[in-house]
Amino acid sequence: MSRYSSCDMYCIKREEHNPPHECCVRIGGVSAVVSPDAERTINAKGGSQSHIPVRFDLIDGEALFEMARVLHEGAVKYGENNWRKIDVPDHLNHLIMHAYAYLSGDRSDDHLSHIMCRATFAQAVALEQGGDR
């Protein structure tokens, strides 16, 4: 993909032109990864498939299981998707509280899993509101 130095747009067709065009996407967005027009890659055996410009294989599975456990507990306690009704600054405040609690040695709660949840919540809410870039 070609990156434009003046913004966060990439051309999935590797063309040099000024965005936005239908072939230009914001890296990090779903459309940058999942697209019927995605660039193809061919492996050593000749197999062809869509190129994935991000590394899902680097996400730690065990950490995601811990995060999912905390999400389940939160859904039982507060209701499913209640976190979507909370503003970014409130999510970040709770994230910071969990970080300081963990750093101070408190192990009475799964602070690191809560930090992951709150960071994800803040990111999702910001993206829903068209922000974070």
Assess whether 83 and 115 both reside in one domain: yes
Kind of pairing between the strands at 48-50 and 40-42: antiparallel
CA atoms within 13 A on the CB side of 34: 3
Query: Do 124 and 84 contact (CB within 8 A), yes or no?
Result: yes
The pTM score is 0.70
Express each pLDDT in 65-115 by its tens digit: 999 999 999 999 999 999 999 999 999 999 999 999 999 999 999 999 999
Grade residue 17 by pLDDT with cuts at 50, 70 and 90.
Answer: low
Assess whether 74 and 109 both reside in one domain: yes
Residue 5 has pLDDT above 60, yes or no: no
Assess whether 78 and 40 both reside in one domain: no
Q: How many residues make up the chain in this entry?
A: 133
Assess whether 69 and 34 both reside in one domain: no
Domain with 89, as residue range(s), is 59-128
Express each pLDDT in 38-72 by its tens digit: 888 999 999 999 888 888 899 999 999 999 999 99
Assess whether 34 and 88 both reside in one domain: no
Residue 4 has pLDDT above 50, yes or no: no
What does the DSSP assignment read for 20-31? P-TTEEETTSGG
Q: Is residue 27 part of a domain?
A: yes
Average pLDDT estimate for 106-132: 93
Assess whether 67 and 26 both reside in one domain: no
